[in-house]
């Protein structure tokens, strides 16, 4: 049978139908006629609910998924390879683009690794560390908001999608104010930060906390007790603690199985041991539990943001060692943020040594003693680990990112097999994979 | 950073007498000896990674090492055969494991109640073309949630026999990680259920993260000047 919507084509694997927006009846009809009841559905890589370019290959029997597999790699951009051809500071510009919803986590994890190799962890100024925590927690809120928003949209709950993106916009406005960019910031640098807070940022941060405290309960009102929402989410995407440990799942997926494992508590970095916050868990092991955890984590992040604002003391945001610290100072000119004119005047007009120093550090970069280090941060998706290897040169020898989305996505088969086709979407959404991070 | 490494122009002294030499870098700024008047072409720098550490390792490192050695002995395996060397560097503990014993060591680390490294954070490959006979390294980071510890296992394979046993049976999470390392380095993980490419297309030739694989790229003209491709630019390493 031939229709414009579903043209059959004989292959060695059986008849293949390419469905192009038509109705499925033709396909089902033909499938009924054939003896083989097994249908393999290829979902993606351009399906709107696959979070980027994820390809799902589902073997279905009626409405039941009997086997599910992922095809990834469509967004592989070779960032790890590219890093080996840039200096250590340029690296942040690349890593911020990996998981584009969590740029500050990528940057901080990478910079912590470089700083560990340099052995300057103790010299990072307090203000830089507090600001890193502040930015990471704001970023956690924006990442969870996208997860909840797109997750809701995939269920057909467009209101929650609009709410989520509305509030994420508030966070992105703050990012734009502080770093100049909404994403791809490259703001966290080895040794500290690129820039201090602009004037008025603290007031805006306080204003944001106030607004978010008002907005967050709306998600509860809209979704938490909503019977349709619960019916779609509860007992869907089930993965118990054994499954999580075996598959290396971390983040909300692991915490929804009841284990309060959070690197901010168990292996603190950036001074997280000095902040007061709770690690929410659920014992339902399902998508609904992960949704509740994300909501609660946003509240806890707000608590940390408040503590960060209170802790901000004046001081430098870059390490004092001039052999590492970026020499250029940024200043706001009539045409936007750029090199400070005073700095240009100094290096071009008065100090030859300063010019040489600037030139060497910017073109050549600093040397990092040979060795390897592993640093990990708790990203909104789970353990984001960075394995950095140096050969003593001005470029990374090897940088490997253990992206939580990549590892957690392996659990997709365990969550979906035996369930309904419609639940695949919910289960994948509850993992919150971002293909930029998965494929790197 | 000590003084001797800070200046790029200074002649770097060897960092560690007992370190592991993984390569020698010659010249700088891409200058070779022929016609080079800068003198940088004659620079020779030995790349040395931190070498084996002797006891005590400090902190809980000794406890983990003792437990691991004891547990291996109980299984009739000489610890000296399985653990090639132990390196403590930058507050991190690394066990270099002989590849034929990797599965046993990993299983012991996971199952022994005093060790209990229940979470593997995957495998990262590193290619050292200058480390003759041990060119390809596979690096595993194991986390113990029970004890709050993190250790590193490092396994190496020569380039002409790129085989390392798979850890998927011990840590199923390594399924995709091993496929990724195979895809990028050509390391073959024996016993992996389906070792296929994961990031690159199935028919891709070569293994992109190896050091002998070029980055590629094209030169770009910007305001009249030619900017060479990233891998053709001046290198200071």
Q: Does B237 touch chain A (CB under 8 A)?
A: yes
- Residues within 8 A of A (CB atoms), B 39-98 only: 45, 47-50, 89-90, 92, 94
Query: SS3 for A206?
Result: helix
- For A137-157, the pLDDT digits (tens) are 999 999 999 999 988 888 888
pLDDT tens column, B72-96: 888 888 888 888 888 888 889 999 9
Give backbone dihedrals phi and psi of A275, rounded to 5 degrees, phi first.
-105, 150
List, for residues B18-57, the tens digit of each pLDDT value.
677 877 877 666 555 455 566 666 777 888 888 888 888 8
- Range with the largest mean pLDDT of A28-32, B19-23, B108-112: B108-112
B2: pLDDT strictly greater than 50: no
Q: Which residues of B touch A82 (CB under 8 A)?
A: 215, 230
Between residues 114 and 153 of chain B, which touch chain A (CB distance below 8 Å)?
118-122, 124-127, 139, 141, 143, 145, 148, 150, 152
Average pLDDT score over residue span B150-175: 92
Q: Does A394 touch chain B (CB under 8 A)?
A: yes
Average pLDDT, chain B: 83
Q: Confidence band (pLDDT; 50, 70, 90) for A272?
A: very high
pLDDT band (50, 70, 90) for residue A20: low
A1, pLDDT greater than 50: no
> Quick one: CA dihedral A348, A350, A352, A358, positive or negative?
negative
Q: A249 and A405 in contact (C-beta within 8 Å)?
A: no
Q: What pLDDT was estimated at residue B35?
A: 57
Dihedral (CA of A131, A136, A140, A143) sign: positive
* A248, A391, A406: residue with CB nearest B237: A391
- CA B64 – CA B49 distance, rounded (Å): 23
Question: Which pLDDT does position A155 carry in this prediction?
Answer: 84
Whether residue B6 has pLDDT greater than 60:
no
Q: Which chain A residues are Cβ-neighbours of B177 within 8 angstroms?
A: 402, 407
B149-157 vs B92-97, strand pairing mode: parallel
Percent of chain A with pLDDT over 70: 92
Most A CBs within 10 Å, among B15, B109, B130, B143, to test the A interface: B143
- Give the number of beta-carbon pairs within 8 Å between A and B: 151
Check CB contact of A93 with chain B, cutoff 8 Å.
no
Kindly report the average pLDDT of chain A as a whole number: 87
- Residue B13 pLDDT > 60, yes or no? no
Q: State the burial class of residue B94 (Cβ atoms within 10 Å of its Cβ: 0-12, 13-18, 19+).
A: buried
Mean pLDDT of A246-257: 92
Chain A residues in contact with B124 (beta carbon < 8 A): 387, 398, 400, 402
Residues linked to residue B13 through DSSP beta bridges, in sequence order: none
What confidence tens digit (pLDDT) does each residue in A54-102 have? 888 888 887 888 889 888 888 899 999 999 998 899 999 999 999 899 9
Is the model more confident about B6 or about A346? Answer: A346
Q: How many residues does chain B have?
A: 237
Lowest mean pLDDT among A32-36, A69-73, A256-260, A366-370: A32-36
Cα(B231)–Cα(A164) distance, integer angstroms: 42
CB of B143 within 8 A of CB of B149? Answer: yes
A281-285, A431-435, B15-19, B185-189: segment of lowest average pLDDT:
B15-19
> Would you state the structure tokens that stand for residue B124, as one six-digit string?
């990262």
| Cα–Cα distance, A239 to A67 (Å, whole number) | 16
Q: Is residue A404 within 8 angstroms of chain B, CB to CB?
A: no
Question: Which residue, B62, B53, B51, B46, is CA-closest to B11?
Answer: B46
End-to-end CA separation in angstroms for chain B? 16
Q: Facing residues of A388 across strands?
A: A373, A399
CB distance B88 to B53 below 8 Å: yes
Take residue B165 and report the two structure tokens written for it.
Answer: 């046993």
B111, B114, B117, B118: CA torsion to nearest 10:
60
CA-CA distances (angstroms) from residue B162 to A236, A244, B49, B154, B193?
Answer: 41, 31, 22, 15, 17
pLDDT value of residue B9: 44
pLDDT of residue B171: 93
The least confident of A70-74, A396-400, B8-12, B169-173 is: B8-12
* Percent of chain B topping pLDDT 90: 35
Residue A402 confidence class, pLDDT cut points 50, 70, 90: very high
Q: Does A357 touch chain B (CB under 8 A)?
A: no
Is A320 a residue whose pLDDT tops 50? yes
Give the best residue of A54, A57, A67, A73 to mutate against chain B (max B CB count within 10 A).
A73
pLDDT at B37: 62
State the angle between helix axes of A103-118 and A126-154 in degrees (0 to 180), rounded to the nearest 10: 150
Shortest Cα–Cα distance, A400 to chain B (Å): 6
Q: Check whether A52 has a pLDDT greater than 70.
A: yes
List C-alpha distances in Å: A32 to A25, A41, A42, B129.
10, 15, 19, 58
Q: What is the pLDDT, as a whole number, of residue B14?
A: 42
Q: Are A188 and A107 in contact (CB under 8 A)?
A: yes
Q: Which helix (H) or strand (E) holds A390?
A: strand A382-390
pLDDT above 90 for A42: no
Q: Which residues are bridge partners to A7 per DSSP?
A: A18
CB contact under 8 A, A116 and B45: no
CA-based nearest distance B172→chain A, Å: 6
Q: What is the mean pLDDT of residues A223-252?
A: 90
């Amino acid at each position: 049978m031939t229709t414009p919507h579903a043209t059959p084509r004989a292959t060695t694997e059986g008849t293949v139908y390419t469905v192009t927006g038509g109705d499925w009846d033709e396909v089902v009809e033909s499938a009924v006629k054939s003896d083989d009841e097994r249908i393999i559905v290829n979902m993606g890589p351009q399906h709107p609910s696959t979070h980027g370019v994820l390809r799902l290959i589902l073997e279905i029997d009626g409405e039941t998924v009997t086997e599910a597999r992922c095809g990834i790699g469509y967004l592989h951009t070779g960032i790890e390879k590219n890093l080996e051809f840039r200096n250590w500071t340029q690296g942040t510009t690349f890593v911020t683009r990996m998981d584009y919803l969590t740029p500050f986590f990528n940057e901080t994890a990478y910079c912590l690794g470089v700083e560990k190799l340099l052995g300057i962890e103790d010299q990072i100024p307090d203000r830089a560390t507090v600001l890193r925590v502040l930015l990471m927690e704001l970023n956690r809120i924006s990442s969870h908001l996208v997860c909840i928003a797109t997750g809701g949209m995939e269920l057909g709950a467009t209101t929650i999608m609009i709410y989520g993106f509305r509030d994420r916009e508030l966070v992105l406005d703050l990012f734009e104010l502080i770093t100049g960019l909404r994403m791809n910031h490259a703001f966290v640098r080895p040794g500290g930060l690129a820039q201090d807070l602009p004037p008025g940022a603290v007031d805006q941060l306080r204003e944001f906390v106030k607004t978010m405290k008002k907005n967050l309960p709306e998600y509860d009102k809209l979704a938490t007790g909503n019977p349709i929402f619960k019916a779609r989410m509860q007992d869907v995407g089930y993965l118990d603690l054994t499954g999580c440990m075996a598959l290396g799942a971390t983040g909300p997926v692991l915490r929804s199985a009841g284990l309060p494992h959070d690197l901010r508590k168990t292996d603190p970095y950036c001074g997280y041991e000095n902040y007061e916050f709770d690690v929410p868990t659920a014992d339902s092991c399902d998508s609904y539990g992960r949704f509740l955890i994300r909501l609660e984590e946003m509240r806890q992040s707000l608590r940390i943001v408040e503590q960060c604002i209170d802790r901000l003391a004046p001081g430098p945001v870059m390490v004092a060692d001039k052999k590492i610290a970026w020499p250029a100072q940024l200043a706001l000119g009539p045409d936007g943020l750029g090199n400070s004119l005073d700095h240009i005047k100094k290096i071009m007009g008065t100090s030859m040594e300063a010019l040489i120093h600037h030139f060497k550090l910017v073109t050549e970069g600093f040397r990092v003693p040979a060795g390897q280090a592993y640093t990990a941060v708790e990203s909104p998706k789970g353990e984001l680990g960075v394995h950095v290897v140096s050969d003593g040169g001005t470029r990374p020898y090897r940088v490997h990112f253990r992206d939580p989305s990549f590892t957690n996505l392996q659990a997709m088969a365990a969550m979906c097999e035996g369930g309904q086709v419609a639940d695949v979407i919910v289960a994948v959404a509850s993992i919150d994979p971002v293909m930029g991070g998965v494929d790197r | 950073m000590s003084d001797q490494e800070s200046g790029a122009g200074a002649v770097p002294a060897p960092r560690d007498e007992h370190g592991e030499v993984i390569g020698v870098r010659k010249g700088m700024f891409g200058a070779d000896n022929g016609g080079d008047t800068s003198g940088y072409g004659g620079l020779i720098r030995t790349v040395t990674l931190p070498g084996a550490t002797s006891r005590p390792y400090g902190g809980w490192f000794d406890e983990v090492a003792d437990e691991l050695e004891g547990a291996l002995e109980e299984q009739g395996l000489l610890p000296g055969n399985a653990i090639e060397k132990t390196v403590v560097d930058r507050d991190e503990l690394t066990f270099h494991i002989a590849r034929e014993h990797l599965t046993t060591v990993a299983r012991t680390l996971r199952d022994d109640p005093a060790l209990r490294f229940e979470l593997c954070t995957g495998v990262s490959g590193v290619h050292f073309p200058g480390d003759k006979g041990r060119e390809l390294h596979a690096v595993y980071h194991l986390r113990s949630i029970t004890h709050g510890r993190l250790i590193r296992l490092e396994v190496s394979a020569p380039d002409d026999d790129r085989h390392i046993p798979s850890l998927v049976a011990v840590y199923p999470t390594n399924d995709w990680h091993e496929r990724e390392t195979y895809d990028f380095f050509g390391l073959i993980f024996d016993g992996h259920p389906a070792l296929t490419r994961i990031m690159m297309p199935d028919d891709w030739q070569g293994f992109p993260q190896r050091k002998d694989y070029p980055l590629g790229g094209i030169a770009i003209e910007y305001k009249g000047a030619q900017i060479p491709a990233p891998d053709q630019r001046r290198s200071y390493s």
